[in-house]
Amino acid sequence: MKDEVGLRTCELKCSLYSIPSENREKNQMALLIFVFLFVTFIFAFIRLLSGNHRRRVHGRLPPGPKGWPIIGNLPQLGPKPHQTLHALSKTFGPILSLRFGSVDVVVASSSAAASQFLRTQDANFSNRPPNSGAEHVAYNYQDLVFAPYGARWRMLRRLCALHLFSSKAMEDFRDVRGGEVEQLVRELAKKAGEAVDVGGEVNTCATNALTRATVGRRVFGGKDEREGAEEFKEMVVELMKLAGVFNIGDFVPGLAWLDLQGVVKKMKKLHGRFDEFFDGIIAEHREAEEKADSDGKRSDMLSILIGLKEEAGGEGIKLTDTDIKALLLNLFTAGTDTTSSTVEWALAELIRHPNLLKQAQIELDSVVGSDRLVSESDLPNLPFLQAVVKETFRLHPSTPLSLPRIASKDCEIDGYLIPEGSTLLVNVWSIARDPSMWPDEPLAFRPERFLMGGLHEGVDLKGNDFELIPFGAGRRICAGLSLGLRMVQFMTATLIHAFDWCLVDGQMVEKLDMEEAYGLTLRRAMPLIAKPMTRLAPKAYPKDV
């Protein structure tokens, strides 16, 4: 019997050694991966235990749900994290504590909490936490959005403020914005009575208005306009989706190399497409400048940035081509998708509420008339239109969860310890639905709440009133707030003044799909497809040149 067992054992050993070398290498690699994951698990578990001990000794964390081993609360976020966190805040309170892997996360879900983090503790939360998007897409933190707070960040922000977003710059490019909005009206008038993708049309307008100010020309012009605009929008949408993913590798460093969700691979591929796109724009721009007369100095943003390559751009810092491309990435993405998505939401809400659409049109007709289009100079005289835009930003904030910040040192908020290195998320979407701040039907679309005599008369969008902060607040408030707000108001006013709107295939307005698609920006799950119908005098509509 023993001899038989020994014989079989010998045969088994021989069979193992007879496995082809290629398969043996695969088996060895699988074993190494298993050992690595096991070791990672042990070290992470020890680290979590020691971290929890430190916090018990030094202070009390805000309340929050228990998480899973190693990955913490990540699996609990669901497909729409802003909604999940809103629901959790109702159970645990306006300051919520979570754990994503080895990272402490605190979520502010009320205006009072947001004010303490973004006003009282603003300096402590002025930096961004490490993340794969900033590393692999945003040129390894060399852009404005994710750059560390300091001299270089201040220089980049000052450049944008001076040459794109200042009062003078806004006035200098007024005709550019007006020309692109006229082009939008021209295209829609040609398609009167036909179904159009509202978001796509508005995105092309917003992008060309921005690029004419930024690089001195329409990026999507000529006969290839439609294909180029659609491809660029697809790139931006993919970027916003990827940037909104809570990547496990960002929170469990030991697993980062596995790229379990495939996010990093997609980011690198997308980065290559953006990099090629910006290389082409910069090359074409330099070629155009070389051909121009010496007296024909260009004043667009890209010309200024290229000029700063040869000299210190403030505080002794010089720019590189990578710096320029990183900044263009911010401007071309944050300044286009957020704007077009908000206009799309605004028009969808007005279509759903025909009485409000009619009220806005009556105001526009009384101020502008029917013989011309709206101009930017009309906007201050349109309080109801401005209220519509505010209410749209309230219910459909372009960034439902603020871009994350990181605590530079331990601090105390409402008696809770916020440990150094904690990631802060401000749930802008939740704050705008807080019944204690919005007692008059917080889930209803009611622009009149912002009008004279309304409960929120005088509330602005500029980071001063924390119950409504779609652009953020504090040091890292959106640099393009002034331009973004102006374009949303201008395009929304134009669309509802120049056209009546109806849904396709006899769809009832109350059945219009208003589901959200989560990403870094809050887009519609289903694009708004509607039919424009001209409503002004024929001479009001621009003709083809």
Q: Set out the domains of the chain in order of their start, with CATH numbers.
A: 151-540 (1.10.630.10)
Structure tokens belonging to residue 233: 């929008």
pTM comes to 0.88
pLDDT value of position 332: 87
pLDDT value of position 294: 53
Is residue 451 within 8 Å of 384, Cβ to Cβ?
Answer: yes
Is residue 407 within 8 Å of 149, Cβ to Cβ?
Answer: no
Taking the CA atoms of residue 277, residue 281, residue 287 and residue 291 in that order, the dihedral angle to the nearest 10 degrees is: 150
DSSP category for residue 509? G
Using CA atoms, how far apart are residues 306 and 282, in angstroms rounded to an integer? 9
CA separation, residue 499 to residues 178, 188, 190, 536 (Å): 17, 9, 12, 8
* DSSP H or E stretch at residue 233: helix 225-243
Neighbours of 164 (CB within 10 A): 23
Which residues of the chain are under the pLDDT cut of 70?
Answer: 1-59, 221-229, 292-299, 310-317, 545
Helices (H), 130-224: 132-136, 151-160, 167-172, 174-190, 198-214
List, in sequence order, every residue forming a beta bridge with 68; answer none if it has no partner: 72
List, in sequence order, every residue forming a beta bridge with 170; answer none if it has no partner: none
Strand 416-418 vs strand 103-108: parallel, antiparallel, or unpaired? Answer: unpaired
Q: Cβ contacts of residue 126 below 8 Å, gap of 6+?
A: 149, 405, 408, 474, 475, 476
Using CA atoms, how far apart are residues 490 and 485, in angstroms rounded to an integer? 9
The pLDDT tens digits of the residues spanning 272-313 come to: 999 999 999 898 888 877 776 555 555 688 888 887 775 545
DSSP 3-state assignment of 100? Answer: strand
Is residue 410 within 8 Å of 419, Cβ to Cβ?
Answer: yes
Structure tokens belonging to residue 406: 């990181």
Structure tokens belonging to residue 133: 């998007």
pLDDT value of position 286: 83
pLDDT value of position 333: 87
Using CA atoms, how far apart are residues 111 and 87, in angstroms rounded to an integer? 16
The count of C-alpha atoms lying within 13 angstroms of the C-alpha of 416, restricted to the half-sphere facing its C-beta, is 20
Using CA atoms, how far apart are residues 90 and 195, in angstroms rounded to an integer? 41
List, in sequence order, every residue forming a beta bridge with 108; answer none if it has no partner: 95, 426
Q: Is 478 annotated as a binding residue?
A: yes
Strands laid side by side in the 95-100 sheet: 95-100, 103-108, 423-426, 405-406
Three-class SS of 421-454: CCEEEEEHHHHCCCCCCCCCCCCCCCHHHHCCCC
